[in-house]
Amino acid sequence: MPNLALILSSLLLPVAWLIPALQGIETGHYLEPLLSGLAIVAAAFLLSWATELAEIYVPPAFALIVLALVSVLPEYAIDIHFAYTAATRPEYVEYAVANMTGANRLLVGLGWSMLVFVLFMKTRIRSMEVDPSQRTPLSFLLIATLYSFILPLKGTISIWDSAVLLLIFLAYVRRALRAEAEEAPLVGPAGWIAERCSDASRIAIIVSFLVYACLVIWCSAEPFADGLVAVGLGWNIDEYILVQMIAPLASEAPEFIVAILFVLKGRASTALGALISSKVNQWTLLVGAIPIAYSVGSGEILALELAARPQEELLITSAQSLFAVAILADLRFRLGEALLLFVLFSLQLLLPFEGVRYAFSGLYFLLILVLGFGSRQRQNDLSRLLRPE
């Protein structure tokens, strides 16, 4: 019974961290991020299953938004910790931006492209059809992306940016709730629970999973985030890369696994829809939360001042996002396009040198011109996204 084993493992794994954390027992600089990181992964699985089960009781469109939002709750907790701490430790400004940009690029470069790879390996189909209903999140993702280019240009992320991004997200939610959405079947442990439990039991499980996962995240986010920085400094590893990639991978892995299960069950468009919605959430709410947390930590309304590297990271993340929207504008996601997204993302990790991010940003812009404006139909598809339906 692999589903039961996975559920029990996710419930028990955080205990190895919660016991010493709640009792104030020191676990060491290197064991601490490992235990707290595993606890966050387990909590992310529980959050994912709880929100999937909740889809039974709420409209499908609303469920998709909530699933994408709650699934990345650990990511929000880690980034808010970095931003809040940056008020008293200025070096943490870079970590807050690193975690946010890493989460966004990982989601698109690995998460989106991975779905096409899985579909191809399962069916030998070389392109994924995107449901027309995904024009709504793609439209708002395009709007948020175009606005995001302002941030590296002005060199700050302010409360005003938070307000704009929050308004974009609220407009997206309002539009999505008015649209018809196809109800997605439950898969994996969520489906296993739904088949065996009554309504009362399901609701109790949903509440229990949510409360327990939130407790785990509350106790784990800070030591995991600070632990990654300590490991990087102690082992002479670029802590910026650890914060930018390891932390988002730990929190987003369950969401990726759920999406893969949807593809394997023949629901590829549903899987991609969930990850597109997650990208909208991260590119609006996650970015917008950073100056709010920074201002709360400072005790006054302040904007984050961005150094050279965070500006580069924001620029390349915006460029990748625009390229991804251009790819999906015609509602087809081809194997070659997915491979291109993945290769460009991977090369950024292998070549983390000063100035290289500007080169990759330029390459993204060139590809946008070729793929996004290479034909009249492509131009029409992309311009149509600027008018949310």
Domain ranges of the chain: 2-384
55 and 184 in contact (C-beta within 8 Å)?
yes
- Mean pLDDT, rounded, for 63-90: 80
Confidence grade of residue 384 (pLDDT, cut at 50, 70, 90): confident
Token pair listed for 365 = 């812009």
Q: How far is CA 156 from CA 10, 287, 352, 372, in A?
A: 39, 12, 23, 29
Provide the percentage of residues in the chain whose pLDDT is more than 90: 46
Task: Give the sign of the dihedral formed by CA 195, CA 198, CA 199, CA 200.
Answer: negative
The rounded Cα 38 to chain-centroid distance in angstroms is 18
Q: What is the pLDDT of residues 310-339, one digit of tens each?
A: 999 999 999 999 999 999 999 999 999 999
Question: Residue type at 106?
Answer: L
Q: How far apart are CA 201 and CA 187, in angstroms?
A: 18
Burial 230-258, CB ≥16 within 10 A → b, else e: bbbeeeeeebbebbbbbbbbbbbbbbbeb
352 and 102 in contact (C-beta within 8 Å)?
no
Question: Residue type at 362?
Answer: G
Confidence grade of residue 373 (pLDDT, cut at 50, 70, 90): confident
The residue with greater pLDDT, 66 or 349, is 349
> Partners of 156 in the beta sheet?
305
Confidence grade of residue 2 (pLDDT, cut at 50, 70, 90): confident
- The DSSP line for 9-68 is HHHHTTHHHHHHHHHT----TTHHHHHHHHHHHHHHHHHHHHHHHHTTTS-HHHHHHHHH
Residue 181 pLDDT: 56
Give the helix/strand (H/E) hosting 181. Answer: none
The number of residues in the chain equals: 389
278 and 62 in contact (C-beta within 8 Å)?
no
385 and 139 in contact (C-beta within 8 Å)?
yes
Residue 322 pLDDT: 95
Beta strand pairing call for 304-305 and 332-334: unpaired
Res. 157: pLDDT tops 90: yes
Question: Residue type at 140?
Answer: F
Domain 2-384 has CATH 3.30.1330.40: no
Res. 16: pLDDT tops 80: yes
Q: How far apart are CA 337 and CA 330, in angstroms?
A: 12
Burial class (CB in 10 A: 0-12, 13-18, 19+), 355: exposed
